Structure 1
Amino acid sequence: MTDLLSLAYPWVKSLHVMAVISWMAGLFYLPRLFVYHAERGQAAGEPAGSFQVMEDKLLRVIMNPAMIVTWLAGLALVLTPGIVDWGAIWPWSKAAAVLAMTWFHMWLAAQRRALLRGQGLSGRHYRMMNEVPTLLMVVIVLSVIVRF
């Protein structure tokens, strides 16, 4: 099994990077849709209907599959011999940030349901939360590249 992981490493790493890019694009865009939904989509009909469709498709068709592939490929990379030095700090800081990113994804899914019920937060709140994936991305990239 470890030989197979070593041989597949560049392919799995490529898949991981592509999935992360897709996931991050959604994590950046969905809160922005929530801002517009909260500020301009309160009444029934349009534009609320358009926001609901965009939010649903983004979450179900792009973000959820991208998160799953990110996790699966990431776990395969972690299991590849010689890739991770568990005595260093960086794998732990990356893992913590990835767990936080996953929590944020789940929080966004819950907020989408709240918006459908008319119980969403304010546009200002979603604007502030829109910065969370950026901060987590900084931690993840610095952890992997700088390996602090």
Structure 2
Amino acid sequence: MLWYKMLHILTMTSWMAGIFYLPRIYVHYVEGVAAGEDIRRLQIMARKLFGFMTVMAVLTLGFGMWLWMAYWRGAGAWLHAKLLFVLLLIGYHIWCYVYLKRMQQNNLHLSSRQLRLFNELPLLVFVPILILVVIKPF
């Protein structure tokens, strides 16, 4: 079971790296558009990164479900709270997809400040997940 836990942590780390980096590409995109720069490479990078992080998300959820099936009887309420935050993270992932589609259509009309704030949102979800998993407060 430790191998599944290791794989869950590995894929989750990769997913989170994408979750944290993709909005930065959006920031560079809107700043590049405003400066009249060529932004095609950013569009390609964003599409490829989203594909990678989606694969990592699916694997993370798969390994997580495997662990849940093995340990759900012994888990406390912390696990249910964690799953709520995981659902929020999946929602954020989908939100990133919406922005990716807008970016691909050259229709992402948010300011770099708005996108920088958007970039901070997953931290508000990830920190409680870490607290729940490590501390298990209830």
TM-score, normalised to structure 2, is 0.91
Provide the residue aligned with 1:59 in structure 2.
50
> Per-residue displacement from partner, 1:30-76 (whole Å, max 9, x unpaired)?
000000101113588x531010010011011x201100000000000
Number of residue pairs matched? 136
Structure 2's unaligned 5+ residue stretches are none
**1:112 & 1:13 partners in 2: Cα distance?**
31
Work out which of the two has the higher radius of gyration on C-alpha atoms and give 1 or 2: 1
Q: Which residue does the alignment assign to 2:121?
A: 132
Matches within 5 A, 1:53-132: 53-60=44-51, 62-81=52-71, 84-85=74-75, 88-120=76-108, 121-132=110-121
Structure 1 residue aligned with 2:132? 143
Output the amino acid matched with 2:67.
Answer: L
RMSD: 1.7
TM-score (norm 1): 0.85
Q: Cα distance 1:42–1:115, how it changes in 2: closer, same or farther (>3 A)?
A: farther
Which structure's residues are more often helix, by fraction? 2
Distance 2:53 2:70 in 1: 26
Gaps of 5+ in 1: 1-8
Q: Check whether the contact 1:94–1:143 (CA below 8 A) recurs between aligned residues.
A: yes
Percent sequence identity is 32
